[in-house]
């Protein structure tokens, strides 16, 4: 037990607050990262927040969790729908990963319905806006880390 969780966000999530606010809301990624960190702290955990638009950097971040992080809350953005490389990285570190999406990916364009990472994640949470990140954090700590 390391008492540490990674919050990992993929492509375009650095544009939160600007990007399609009618879908993604007006909260910025900095807001989410600081609320997530506060909530983790209240639960006795520290948080490491990483965002990248690059698939390789996301894979490096996932691999870097091995042996020092208890679990990952991940919004892989559009890579969710086709990155078997991210799926392999999750499988290879054998850590609990909560898959989060702000929007309801099942109620949007057809390409978003598919998540290739879902089979290697503990759970998918979507359609709850930013609350999805905090619910994922609580579930991760409660159910998979003791």
Residues with a catalytic annotation lie at 24, 101
78 binds ligand DQA (CB under 6 A): yes
CB-based contact 38:69 (threshold 8 Å): no
What number of CA atoms fall less than 13 Å from residue 64's CA on the CB side? 14
Q: Is residue 71 close enough to count as binding ligand DQA by CB under 6 A?
A: no
Q: Should residue 4 be labelled a site residue for ligand DQA when binding is judged by CB under 6 A?
A: no
Determine the 3-state secondary structure of 45 from DSSP.
coil
**Residue 37 or 115 having the CB closest to ligand DQA:** 115
Residue 87 interacts with ligand DQA (CB under 6 A): yes or no: no
Beta strands across the sheet bearing 123-126: 46-51, 4-9, 71-75, 97-101, 123-126
Q: Identify the residue among 91, 103, 123, 124 touching ligand DQA (CB under 6 A).
A: 103
Tokens of 104: 């309801």
- In whole angstroms, how far apart are CA 131 and each of 4, 80, 111, 115, 118? 20, 19, 24, 20, 19
With binding defined as CB under 6 A, does residue 117 bind ligand DQA?
Answer: no
Span interacting with ligand DQA, options 32-40, 63-71, 96-104, 114-122, rule CB under 6 A: 96-104
Which two three-digit tokens encode residue 119?
């089979």
Tokens 């490389």 belong to residue:
85
List 102, 117, 121, 125, residue binding ligand DQA (CB under 6 A): 102
Among the listed ranges 52-60, 95-103, 113-121, 133-141, the one in contact with ligand DQA (CB under 6 A) is: 95-103
Q: State the residues that interact with ligand DQA by CB under 6 A.
A: 12, 75, 77-78, 80, 101-103, 105, 112
């Amino acid at each position: 037990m390391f008492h540490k969780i990674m919050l990992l966000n993929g492509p375009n999530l650095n544009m939160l607050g600007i990007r399609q606010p009618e879908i993604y809301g007006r909260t910025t990624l900095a807001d989410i990262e600081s609320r997530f960190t506060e909530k983790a702290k209240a639960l006795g955990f520290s948080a490491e927040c990483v965002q990248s638009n690059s698939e390789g950097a996301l894979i490096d971040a996932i691999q870097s969790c091995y042996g020092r992080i208890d679990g990952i809350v991940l919004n892989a953005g559009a890579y969710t729908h086709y990155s078997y490389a991210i799926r392999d990285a999750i499988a290879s570190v054998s850590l609990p990963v909560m898959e989060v999406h702000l929007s309801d990916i099942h109620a949007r364009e057809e390409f978003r319905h598919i998540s290739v990472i879902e089979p290697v994640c503990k759970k998918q949470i979507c359609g709850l806006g930013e609350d999805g990140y905090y619910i994922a954090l609580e579930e991760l700590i409660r159910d998979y880390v003791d």
